[in-house]
Amino acid sequence: MTVERRASRIRQDKGAGPRQPRPPRGQSVRAHRRGVSAALTERLRGPLEELYREFDYGARVERDAIRFPLHYPDPRDREIVALLTACLAYGRVDLFSAQLHGVLGVMASPYAFVREFDPERQRDVFRDFIYRFNRPRDIVAFCVATRDILLRHGTLEQCFLAGDPDPAGPITAALERFARTFLDADLLPVFPHGRLSRGYRHLFPLPSAGGPCKRLHLFLRWMVRREKPDFGLWTAVAPARLLMPIDTHVENMSRAIGLTRRRSRNWRMAEEITARLAEIDPTDPVKFDFALCHKRMSGDCLDRRDAVVCAPCGLRGVCRHWARGRTTPA
Ligand code: SF4
């Protein structure tokens, strides 16, 4: 790799992207960048708002992990199921769905089940569970930690709020403390040597580790956003504070329409994409998540220029795959 290409890569990973054209004479670089960014935001606004408005949520909800908590009308059950579902939502939905069905199948009311959970008596209840990094003892540990949190705080929302240092500030510190509560729980009955399993740690990623923490952001989106398909149960947290849950689909879509140029999917990418979307809707920047994710997941976007698939796409005018040689698709 040439020195120039390597420098370009480093710039891109820092979010700077390829070298930009010089600003016009008399204009500072910063003011020029602000102008370019504002122009891009204006080009994105219409197509993204239309995608959000017109998206057929009903057709996709049953293909999404949100369907698990959605099936529980009691908010106390829904909160527990949402967290467990989000924690396991790595990999393909159809792969973890069968395992999650098995876990939820032993709980008539997930809230009541977890509140009364006794690891001595019930440690074998999840014996058939196995999903990638996770084993039955991870689910047992989840139940023990969640039981103790419910006993102390009443609800997961109250636990989150207790660790939130600034209800108007960034979500990072609150999310870190929320995840830590599960990692710091007294889990000696499950892990007698005092070492958490890798699978259990995987359920609760920490923002301070720098990863995108997609599953925690997804859980927050479900609980906090007031509009469908989300639940709006956590009314004390403002949707404006949420960050985008970045998975491979959202990452691809975000690159295609210029929301990010970063190469690494990490916390900073989540912040950058969210900041971009907040320029369009500062009160609810993650409202675009479901539609962007499912557009790609469903095959309505192939992340490449395709005359047939791209023909009905409202994002074509802002898509990098159509940036050069704008030919009208068939
Ligand atoms: S124009 Fe095509 S590649 Fe671009 S976002 Fe739309 S469907 Fe995807």
Q: How many CB atoms lie within 10 A of CB 151?
A: 9
Nearest to 220 by CA among 68, 62, 86: 86
State residue 16's pLDDT score. 42
Whether the per-residue pLDDT at 157 is higher than 60: the answer is yes
Q: Which residues lie below 8 Å from residue 95, measured CB to CB, with a gap of 6+?
A: 131
- Within 8 A by CB and 6+ apart from 55, the residues are 290, 291, 294, 295
Whole-angstrom CA distances from 274 to 9, 87, 99, 262, 288 are 22, 21, 32, 13, 10
Q: Specify the pLDDT at position 330.
A: 41
User: 328 pLDDT exceeds 70?
Assistant: no
The length of the chain is: 330
Kindly give the distance from the C-alpha atom of residue 43 to the centroid of ligand 1, in angstroms, as a whole number: 15
pLDDT score of 295:
97
pLDDT at 181: 98
In 3-state terms the chain splits into helix, strand, coil percentages (rounded to 5) of 55, 0, 45
pLDDT the model gives residue 3 = 46
List residues near ligand 1 (CB under 6 A): 256, 301, 303, 309-310, 313, 315-316, 319, 321-322
> What is the reported pTM?
0.89
Question: In this prediction, what percent of the chain has a pLDDT beyond 90?
Answer: 83
- 37-63 pLDDT tens trace: 788 889 999 999 999 999 999 999 999
pLDDT (tens digit per residue) in 193-211: 999 999 999 999 999 999 9
As a whole number of angstroms, the distance between CA 308 and CA 313 comes to 10
Nearest CA residue ID for atom 2, ligand 1? 310
Mean pLDDT of the 224-238 span:
97
Peptide bond into 47 cis (omega under 30): no
Q: What is the pLDDT of residues 104-120, one digit of tens each?
A: 999 999 999 999 999 99
Percent of the chain with pLDDT over 70: 87
List the single range of 143-157, 186-200, 314-328 with lowest mean pLDDT.
314-328
Over range 236-261, report the average pLDDT.
Answer: 97
**How far does the centroid of ligand 1 lie from the alpha carbon of residue 287, in Å?**
19
Domains and CATH numbers, the chain: 32-61+243-330 (1.10.1670), 63-236 (no CATH)
Compute, in angstroms, the gap from residue 311 CA to the centroid of ligand 1: 9
Residue 37 confidence (pLDDT) = 74
